[in-house]
């Protein structure tokens, strides 16, 4: 039932990229243009974003109460985390989840493919999947900072400061978060691309979302039984939610290097997979004549 618990931010994300004439020499510039136009569109929806805070607040509030109950004393550690760290961990993962919701783009890709719109988008002078990623980046780079500010506010008022937080590590955390968001989007796009073969990919999105939610968002990896932990480190969860949030609540250099390396590998593999599926899908489209 939580398949759609994150309501997409409403917005007329119409195709904004129009004139591709003068950008032939700079192949990357077109993605910048796509990014910019969506960014501008999204600024208008700041008000709608604000309404999404309510649900975010509800979640965080529940976790604050829940962990408040689970920790019997203020000094207790659960899986090596203090109560503050545990709550900040959830706040960070939920912030990424709300602020960089990829369900909208994923749904759009599935609709483009099923609805036949892909035939028009495919022949434009850009790679369809990168076009989608650029648009998605335009969307979240407006929403995420707002959620981040909101999260810090809630944290400061209701939870208290993080014990070992140092501002100097912030750029690395941001980089890690951006990579995590992008990897997540790439995987969700891969699922949507299966729309070339099957009619409805949303059930698979639910499962993916749920995997991320249950295993990655609510709890840090350390809380699971010892035997499961190596296995969990191999799933995208490790790079998508655990990594960025862990660095915020408990920054360690060796952890940081490990996570960034894992993210690089994941991004490369994910993109390779995405291009491969896309190419096969398009081929199939030609064979069947759309």
Partner 1 sequence: MLTAAKNQLRVCFLSIKYNIMREMVNKVTFLTNVAFMVLNDASILVQWFILFRLRDDVGGYSLREVLMLWGLVAASFGLSNLLFARVLSLPNLIINGKLDAFLVQPKNVLLGVLTSETRISAIGDFLYGVILVCVCRPGVGGFFLFLLFTITGAIAFTAFALLLGSLSFWFVRMDILQNQMLMGMINFGSYPDGIFQGAARVLLYVLIPVGMALWLPAHVMARFDGKMLLAVLGYVFLLSVAAVAVFYRGLRRYASGNLMEARL
In the complex, the smallest distance separating the C-beta of residue 38 from partner 1, rounded to whole angstroms, is 21
Contact call for residue 204 and partner 1 (CB under 8 A) = yes
Cα separations in angstroms, 186 against 96, 159, 266: 15, 33, 10
Contact call for residue 2 and partner 1 (CB under 8 A) = yes
Candidate residues 40, 46, 70, 268; the one interacting with partner 1 per rule CB under 8 A? 70
Contact call for residue 206 and partner 1 (CB under 8 A) = yes
For partner 1 (CB under 8 A), the number of binding residues is 38
Which parts of the chain are beta strand (E)? none
Candidate residues 24, 124, 164, 210; the one interacting with partner 1 per rule CB under 8 A? 210
Candidate residues 17, 31, 59, 251; the one interacting with partner 1 per rule CB under 8 A? 59
Burial of 66 from C-beta contacts in 10 A (0-12 / 13-18 / 19+): middle
Candidate residues 224, 235, 258, 275; the one interacting with partner 1 per rule CB under 8 A? 224
Which residue, 210 or 279, has its beta carbon nearer to partner 1?
A: 210
Please check whether residue 278 is in contact with residue 197, taking contact to mean a CB–CB distance below 8 angstroms. no
Using the contact rule CB under 8 A, the part of the chain among 65-73, 128-136, 148-156, 178-186 near partner 1 is: 65-73
Contact call for residue 235 and partner 1 (CB under 8 A) = no
Q: Which two tokens stand for residue 120?
A: 């028009």
Candidate residues 15, 39, 55, 111; the one interacting with partner 1 per rule CB under 8 A? 55
Please check whether residue 165 is in contact with residue 252, taking contact to mean a CB–CB distance below 8 angstroms. no
Report angle CA 206, 212, 215 to the nearest 5 degrees: 125
Residue 160 CA to residue 249 CA, distance in Å, equals: 12
Contact call for residue 24 and partner 1 (CB under 8 A) = no
Candidate residues 78, 175, 232, 282; the one interacting with partner 1 per rule CB under 8 A? 78
Please check whether residue 103 is in contact with residue 205, taking contact to mean a CB–CB distance below 8 angstroms. yes
Which residue, 66 or 172, has its beta carbon nearer to partner 1?
A: 66
Contact call for residue 66 and partner 1 (CB under 8 A) = yes
Contact call for residue 77 and partner 1 (CB under 8 A) = no
Residue 3 CA to residue 60 CA, distance in Å, equals: 19
Which residue, 52 or 180, has its beta carbon nearer to partner 1?
A: 52
Please check whether residue 89 is in contact with residue 141, taking contact to mean a CB–CB distance below 8 angstroms. no
In the complex, the smallest distance separating the C-beta of residue 232 from partner 1, rounded to whole angstroms, is 11
- What number of other Cβ atoms are within 10 A of residue 27's Cβ? 11
Contact call for residue 65 and partner 1 (CB under 8 A) = yes
Contact call for residue 187 and partner 1 (CB under 8 A) = no
Candidate residues 32, 40, 62, 265; the one interacting with partner 1 per rule CB under 8 A? 62
Rg (CA), the chain: 20
- Contact residues for partner 1, defined by CB under 8 A: 1-3, 5, 7, 10, 48, 51-52, 54-55, 58-59, 61-62, 65-66, 68-70, 78, 198-200, 202-204, 206-207, 210-211, 213-215, 218-219, 223-224
């Amino acid at each position: 039932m939580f398949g759609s618990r994150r309501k997409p931010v409403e917005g007329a994300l119409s195709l904004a990229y129009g004139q591709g004439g003068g950008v032939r020499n700079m192949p990357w510039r077109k993605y910048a243009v796509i990014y910019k136009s969506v960014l501008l569109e999204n600024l208008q929806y700041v008000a709608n974003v604000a309404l999404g805070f309510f649900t975010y607040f509800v979640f965080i509030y529940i976790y604050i109460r829940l962990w408040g109950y689970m920790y019997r004393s203020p000094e207790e550690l659960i899986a090596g985390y203090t109560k503050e760290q545990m709550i900040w961990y959830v706040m960070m993962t939920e912030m990424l989840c709300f602020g960089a919701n990829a369900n909208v783009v994923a749904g759009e890709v599935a609709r483009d493919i099923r609805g036949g719109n892909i035939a028009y988008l495919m022949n434009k002078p850009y790679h369809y999947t990168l076009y989608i990623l650029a648009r998605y980046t335009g969307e979240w780079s407006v929403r995420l900072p707002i959620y981040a500010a909101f999260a810090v506010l809630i944290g400061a008022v209701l939870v208290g400061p993080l014990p070992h937080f140092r501002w100097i590590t912030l750029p690395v955390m941001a980089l890690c978060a951006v990579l995590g968001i992008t990897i997540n989007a790439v995987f969700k796009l891969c699922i949507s691309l299966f729309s070339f073969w099957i009619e409805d990919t949303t059930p698979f999105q639910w499962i993916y979302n749920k995997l991320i939610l249950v295993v990655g968002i609510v709890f840090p990896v350390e809380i699971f039984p010892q035997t499961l932990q190596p296995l969990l480190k191999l799933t995208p969860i490790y790079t998508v939610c655990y990594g960025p949030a862990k660095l915020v609540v408990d920054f360690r250099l060796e952890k940081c290097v490990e996570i960034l390396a894992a993210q690089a590998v994941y991004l490369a593999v994910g993109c390779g997979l995405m291009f491969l599926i896309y190419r096969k899908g398009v081929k199939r489209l030609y064979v069947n004549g759309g």
